[in-house]
Amino acid sequence: MTAQLIDGKSVALSIREEIATEIAQIQNDQPDFKPTLAIIQVGKREDSNTYVRMKRKAAVEANIDAQFIHFDNGDTVTEQEILEKIDALNADPQVHGIIVQLPLPKNLDEDKITSAVLATKDVDGFGPFNIGELNKRNGHPHFLPCTPKGIIELLSRYNVELKGANSVVIGRSDIVGGPVAELLKSGNSTVTVLHSYSKDIPKYLKDADIVIVAIGKPGFVRGEWFEGNNKECVVIDVGTNYIEDKTRKSGMRCVGDVEFDEVKKHVKLITHVPGGVGPMTVAMLMQNTLVAAKKTLHQDGPIFSILPLNLETPVPSDYEISRKQKPKEITQIASEAGLLPSEFEPYGSTKGKIKLDILNRLQDKTNGKYILVTGITPTPLGEGKSTTTVGLAQALGAHLNKKVYANVRQPSMGPTFGIKGGAAGGGYSQVIPMDEFNLHVTGDIHAISMANNLLAAAIDTRMFHESTQKDAPLYRRLVPTAKDGSRKFTKSMLRRLEKLGINKTDPNELTEEEISKFARLNIDPETITWRRVVDCNDRFLRGITIGEAPTERGFTRKTGFDISVASECMAILALCNSLEDMRERLGKIVVGANKETGEPVTCEDIGCAGAMTALLKDAIKPNVMQTLEGTPVLVHAGPFANISIGASSVLADKIALKLTGTTADASKELQEKNAGYVITEAGFDFTMGGERFINIKCRSSGLVPDVIIIVATVRALKVHGGGPEVKAGAPLPKEYTVENLDLLRKGCANLVKHIENAKQYNLPVVVAINKMSSDTDKEHDIIREESLKAGASEAIVSNHWEEGGKGAVDLAQGVIRVAHNESNSDFKFLYETDTGLSIEDKITKIAQSMYGAKDVEFLPEAQKKIELYKKQGFSNLPICIAKTQYSLSHDASLKGVPTGFTFPIRDIRIASGANYLYALAAEIQTIPGLPTHCGFMNIEVNDDGEIEGMF
């Protein structure tokens, strides 16, 4: 009998072709699917070079991308360098498998380096996890070792039955002998493991069905050992040995552990060396890489590990609910949400920041669905926009298994300690931990305050020095000579010179006239618009006099404070698209005008923009937190909703939209199936927050919402229907706790106006009816009826406050329907900025179309500012109108849908860095005051260091 040759080379080729075909099929639906194998080689060993070439060639044939990382300085490379590279590859989602070519130079710890490869990328199958799981009963390794796996595959392809077979494994190494014995046993073979010290090896071969030899000794297994074996034995030779052969050019020949020519006379099947197991090892490496890549595809399993809610009735206070829920580690939230470790900076265990370079990695992704949450005109009873934002995100992520982010503003501590309370949502739909959310988060508002006040100090200081020094000494101090005798302009100074038309870069070359023009900003104190800020409702800072100390030599000036979140720095943080964009915007801030020319004086002129950027370089990174049910939340920026845009940041939205997006080249069906959702909120009602969101924020970002949600409650609509006055903390009149259909239907006019306003942008609208326990079905029916009549696509009751995400599932399903079935392709702005519309025209358009005003009155101060901004070239900027949130009009007492009123504009200010003008209506304040009974009065810290009393 002469054995049939087991052709490992041919089988390996077939496997590579099968792999290439499967990859191509997957790529039909997911074009960006590209299995990638990283091969690390250290040193210049010729045998390693050969093996690496084989693997790279096989990868090409299998349609696998092979990244080759070669540390050719094997004697000098450090373990740390290699480990850092492995860490980077572990963190790279585009790399699916990693192998370290062995052996490594003796100066390196081979076990330490190979063990550093993630188990989920250990496609060699030799890492401690995979080997440990293979040897454990009922273990689940991610990958089988390539050579043992290749042996079993060869046996399978040649129809060798394992079940019941007597298998002999000669060799007990951790690389082949041990693992292949485990695989044979798992195939229900009876396995005997022998080694070089085993006695009477031929005896075991007489009754063997399968013999696998991996002992590392050329010709160790003799042909006569199989004499008398009548079982049509199969021999797999794993040996790779080089012996002297003078007939070969190299002088060496590769042979196995089996005396091939003699053994083949006595067995049925046999492998040859080379061409047997070797090619199969490489083929299995490719197969494992494909397996690793397929595991990264979207699966039907849960995206997020969900935190269960222990719902209680009656619903406890917000801080009690928050405190009872143990958050997931923020690194787990980040990982589940699609962030790489290299893109995430933890701030403790419950918060962290996202690095902006994530946008480079995700730049080829499509955007997820963009959902804007707004409300009806607010009342003291509240409508629950933040609660709805969080509840909807919980419903999508925790109950419908969708990729989702809730994007919310960071709350100011002014309202938190005043009357409004926190902004984390409420009931069972909250951002947690709510105390950390409502207080410092990661310190972004403090950074804003510092940057703002640095510029304020710089303005007054510059005016002081200009008033007390002549041109020459002023210039010498502005552009000093260094110790080495050199003298140079800063970046801001060079920009100022360019603005002045001075084409010089050597400070010593300026003429006296140029020195005067450069050094003197000549700021007119009456035109200064930049005020100091504090994140506190301190009404006594609304008007102050500065410079009272004798050291200021009588240089006094009347000014005042704004609340920190009203700072233009905060608006810039919310609207910028990158760190570079933020730097440019900060430089463009106009702080006043030149006394003589009337030209605007900017932050760049003062030389402060670089330092302000340094103060905000971490604040620009969005913060990551989580909901009560463990879905991700981005908390970023907090521009005041009365006098600024009242929305979270453009950068947070852009990052979240990419993270919830899909591959641009994927089929439309797959894009629709895998699209995620970004739920973001605009402050107050649609007519304020939504209007600014679209006309200012969307202009900056280039994004357009897919759906607008307008949140309404029965109780709040009754206020707009003419119900009795309500006050925070006072018992509710019975009209709000019992069914009153007439009062409700009248109040629905306010909701209808907001729907009509939203429809002016040609965007689909969903009304979220935020359920209260006193509501009736008939009341909900009226809201639904009026909403659909006004043009809303859906009007859905949601009970997320009492039930968390489960209570918002119907709302989530409605949002999904509208987002996928209706289009935003006909979107339009309320007004254009590049068609020559005047400042007055744009303000009038907003007041008449959004608020229902008949006319707009521009008071003298506003007229004066309009003329100034026209002269300075700012007429084309969009408009933000600062007004009361409690009415569509400027008068907080006018509920419902007032009409026929004259809308007064008392002042207009510029936010040139944020790229808008803001008009102040009536008596709107830029820093709130505290009530008699303040929120801070209820707050305490218990003996365990937990904050209590926050609401």
Per-residue b or e along 116-154, where b marks 16 or more CB atoms closer than 10 Å to that residue's CB: bbbbbbbbbbbbebbbebbeeeeeebbbbbbbbbbbbbb
Tell me the residue ranges of DSSP E strands in 281-323. none
Which of 402, 399, 375, 306 is closest to 808 using CA atoms? 399
Per-residue b or e along 312-341, where b marks 16 or more CB atoms closer than 10 Å to that residue's CB: eeebeebbebbbebebbebeebbebbbbbe
**Are 184 and 206 spatial neighbours (Cβ–Cβ below 8 Å)?**
no
Question: Phi then psi for 814, rounded to 5 degrees?
Answer: -65, -40
Which of 61, 59, 52 is closest to 37 using CA atoms? 59
Q: Give the three-class secondary structure for 296.
A: coil
**Dihedral (C-alpha) 48, 51, 56, 62: value to the nearest 10 degrees?**
-160
**Are 564 and 598 spatial neighbours (Cβ–Cβ below 8 Å)?**
no
> Locate tokens 């740390």: which residue?
80
- Choosing from 7, 41, 55, 605, the catalytic residue is 55
**Are 798 and 810 spatial neighbours (Cβ–Cβ below 8 Å)?**
yes
**Are 942 and 948 spatial neighbours (Cβ–Cβ below 8 Å)?**
yes
Whole-angstrom distance, CA of residue 41 vs CA of residue 630: 41
What are 560's two structure tokens? 């005042």
The helix (H) or strand (E) run that includes residue 563 is strand 561-563
Whether 775 is catalytic? no
Q: Give the three-class secondary structure for 622.
A: coil
**Are 284 and 37 spatial neighbours (Cβ–Cβ below 8 Å)?**
no
**Are 453 and 531 spatial neighbours (Cβ–Cβ below 8 Å)?**
no
Identity of residue 546: I
Whether 55 is catalytic? yes
For helices 491-500 and 609-616, angle between their N-to-C axes, nearest 10 degrees: 140
Q: Would you tell me how many other CB atoms lie within 10 Å of the CB of residue 303? A: 18
Whole-angstrom distance, CA of residue 887 vs CA of residue 873: 33
The dihedral built from the CA positions of residue 727, 733, 737 and 741, taken in this order, carries a sign that is negative
Question: Phi then psi for 945, rounded to 5 degrees?
Answer: 80, 10
Using only C-alpha atoms, what is the Rg of the chain?
36
**Are 813 and 400 spatial neighbours (Cβ–Cβ below 8 Å)?**
yes
- Choosing from 7, 124, 209, 605, the catalytic residue is 124
Identity of residue 436: E
What are 227's two structure tokens? 């004499």
- Choosing from 7, 41, 101, 842, the catalytic residue is 101
Which of 766, 760, 793 is closest to 687 using CA atoms? 760
> Locate tokens 């207080």: which residue?
439
Which of 587, 44, 634 is closest to 339 using CA atoms? 634
Whether 124 is catalytic? yes
Question: Phi then psi for 856, rounded to 5 degrees?
Answer: -120, 135
Q: In terms of residues, how long is the chain?
A: 951
Active site residues: 55, 101, 124
